[in-house]
Chains A and B, each alone.
Chain A
Amino acid sequence: MALLDVRNLTVRFDTPDGEVQAVSDLSFTMEKGECLGIVGESGSGKSQTFMAAMGLLADNGRATGDVLFGGANLLTAGEKQLNAIRGNKAAMVFQDHMTSLTPHMKVGRQMAEVLVRHRGLSAAAARDAAIAMLKRVQIPDPERRAAMYPHELSGGLRQRVMIAMSLLCHPELLIADEPTTALDVTVQALILDLIREVKEQDRTSVILITHDLGVVAGLADRVAVMYAGRIVELGDVAQIFAAPQHPYTQGLLACTPRLDDVGKVLKTISGQPPNLQRLPPGCAFAPRCPFKIAACAERPPLRPAAGGGLKACARDDIASINRAAS
């Protein structure tokens, strides 16, 4: 049985200007010890997919479908059951690391809370374990840092505290939302090494949400490409990077600068991201797609593609067009 099985997940938000459908009919599965990369442009629903899974949607959001994790359906689970899982078997590191720690509580105590709650440790024992974990994420002088308030730590340190906090209970699933954005390169490398270590040593499954295709290439086993709240392509990292089957994936890869591109103009995908309040009936990417055909007026299902992955595109010849072009 898969560790995580998401079926037909749909997330809607009520807003004063109407309903926003941030995630539409999304399905995928994930095995133990695997690392799944999630990529897609801003607003494509990457974060909200997993907020929904963890029961952390904003008040105006509703999720439908199933999220099966270790035999429980997280969407229908009661508060108690959910709280026994969150922070314990499944942990999440949030994108907004600057504001994700409680400002009026010392970071050591914020971390210790997790162990007191899930492992029943005494406050002192939990504090020692928290400090040990801070050491593991290579925070210098962890005792002193544990006694600090979040605003006394730099952004990079706060991000590492968040990661350390998520690892305290050795979760089976770690959801890392943009763990490296806005950090300097050495800290990025450090955090990626840490995630790799957790994945390989503890056989933790990792979901890695990122804008950075380089990070995905280095760490993920499989990658899901999201567009307008749907997965448009899903498959092995190597496979997708070598022969993307969806025009949007191609666009993304073309946008990523390589070292040998120095001096060339950066490519972009033309057109605007879709309006989630009024999604077109057909393929959401069609308005921006250079290869669109008549069949794109109907929504393409996610179906097996050449190379063993899945894709949601009406055409089968995208990869070959791409190869011919380059």
Chain B
Amino acid sequence: MWSYLARRVLIGIPTLWAIITVCFFLMRLTPGGPFDSAAPVPPEILANLRARYHLDDPLWQQYLSYLWNLLHWDFGPSFKYKDFTVTELIAQGFPVSFQNGFAAILLAMVIGIPMGIAAALAQNTARDYTVSGIAMTGIVIPNFVMGQLLILIFGVWLKDTAVHLPAGGWNNGAFANRILPVITLALPFVAYLARITRGSMIEVMRANYVRTAKAKGLPFRAVVIHHALKSALTPVVTFLGPATAFILTGSMVVETIFQIPGIGRYFVQGALNRDYTLVMGVTILSAAIMILMNLLVDLLYGVLDPKVRYD
């Protein structure tokens, strides 16, 4: 088990390194530097900027020093937010995104999984169709539409009522400002979780061992909870790993719509402004989290299925 963990972490490092390398060279080798698109900059200022960001060094030197700095948790200066380093921006934005993402994924699990189970156990009834309908709706309505709709309803139409909610902004993380973003973030995941849980639960309920459990005279609840649930959750866990990684590193859309200072919005801003270091920093962070979550998923498989061996 421990050796497995160690091995997985060791595999993760070259993966991360490969991602960093590809990112770095993609960024540096493409035509058009970060200052091209801006209004004409006096050449001497431009030269200053280039010197400050070491853009005149040979490429391999830039690469090595970037790697070296990364090892020291230094993502370099931001190209656009002149007074900040990328590390500072991430340190500001990540907690915000993490809190929202964590709340959303928790909410999605608490609602989506029971919904899926309820639908599966009443297959082809009104209850099942309702859940499937809700799930499908949640999947096909993009969250930028959903977010706008919620803003329209709670921020605009209900402006003068008690259930009025702020239409955007962060307000230092006031509870009311978090409600709509977290719900918007959670809805598609509620839908996916309900759908995946339903499908796998239906399949497991047809398994021979569930039939055996019924034949033992166990009450239906016990059959579901003790014999079906664990196996049914395997695909759910598979889905949740990358989904959590994605959501924790900030939803670009939701943070953009609600003007939340999370790293998702920094990434979008960075991409629009060609802020290379910022974009790379966020990408590397999210890749690291993705690798971590995939490892977590593999460990969870072992809890759900004794056949999984870590050797």
Contacts and interface: CB of A to CB of B under 8 A. Distances in A.
The judgment on whether A and B are partners is yes
Contact of A79 (B220, B306, B307): B220
Interface stretch (A63-71, A85-93, A238-246): A85-93
A257 interface: no
Contact of A87 (B208, B216, B220): B216
B306 A54 contact: no
A113 interface: yes
B209 A102 contact: yes
A312 to B, nearest CB: 30
Interface string A152-184: 000000000010010000000000000000000
Contacts of A79: 219-220
B8 interface: no
A101 interface: yes
Contacts of B213: 102
B190 to A, nearest CB: 26
A117 B220 contact: no
Contact of B214 (A59, A86, A103, A104): A86
Contacts of B212: 94, 100-102, 162
B80 to A, nearest CB: 52
B215 A92 contact: yes
Interface residues on A, range: 20 to 34
Interface in A75-111: 79, 82-88, 91-92, 94, 96, 99-105
Contacts of A151: 306-307
A149 B306 contact: yes
Interface of B: 123, 206-220, 222, 226-227, 230-231, 304-307
5 contacts: A82-B217, A88-B217, A99-B208, A100-B211, A165-B216
A158 B216 CA distance: 16
Contact of B216 (A55, A104, A113): A113
The 5 closest A-B CB pairs, nearest first, are A87-B217, A87-B216, A86-B217, A149-B306, A99-B208
Nearest to A97: B208
Given A99-B208, A100-B208, A103-B306, A87 B215 contact: yes
A105 to B, nearest CB: 7
A48 to B, nearest CB: 12
A99 B227 CA distance: 13
A104 B308 CA distance: 10
Nearest to A83: B217
A105 B227 contact: yes
B225 to A, nearest CB: 12
A26 to B, nearest CB: 20
A315 interface: no
Nearest to B207: A99
A102 B213 CA distance: 8
B307 A96 contact: no
A40 B212 CA distance: 24
Interface of A: 54-56, 58-59, 79, 82-88, 91-92, 94, 96, 99-105, 113-114, 117-118, 149, 151, 162, 165
A54 B207 CA distance: 16
A149 B209 CA distance: 13
A54 B215 CA distance: 7
A94 B208 contact: yes
Binding site secondary structure of chain B: helix
B299 to A, nearest CB: 15
B230 A114 contact: no
Contact of A104 (B123, B220, B305): B305
With a 10 A CB-CB cut-off, give which of B216, B219, B231, B305 has the most chain A CB atoms.
Answer: B216
Contacts of B306: 103-104, 149, 151
B155 to A, nearest CB: 45
A138 to B, nearest CB: 21
A100 B209 contact: yes
Given A86-B217, A94-B208, 10 more contacts: A83-B217, A85-B217, A86-B215, A94-B212, A94-B215, A100-B211, A103-B307, A114-B217, A117-B217, A118-B217
B258 to A, nearest CB: 41
Contact of A86 (B207, B216, B305): B216
A165 B217 CA distance: 12
B123 A59 contact: yes
A86 B222 CA distance: 14
B208 A103 contact: no
Most buried by B among A55, A102, A113: A102
B211 A149 contact: no
B217 A96 contact: no
Contacts of A84: 217
A109 B252 CA distance: 48
Nearest to A148: B306
A84 B213 CA distance: 13
A151 B305 CA distance: 10
A91 B305 contact: no
Nearest to A175: B215
Contacts of B226: 102, 105, 113
Nearest to A162: B212
Contacts of A56: 211, 214-215
A83 B209 contact: no
A101 B210 CA distance: 8
A114 B223 CA distance: 12
B217 A58 contact: no
A102 B304 CA distance: 12
Q: Which of A55, A113, A151 has the most CB of B within 10 A?
A: A113
Contact of A117 (B123, B216, B227, B305): B216
Most buried by A among B207, B209, B220, B227: B209
A116 B47 CA distance: 81
Contacts of A58: 206
Contacts of B222: 113, 117
A94 B60 CA distance: 67
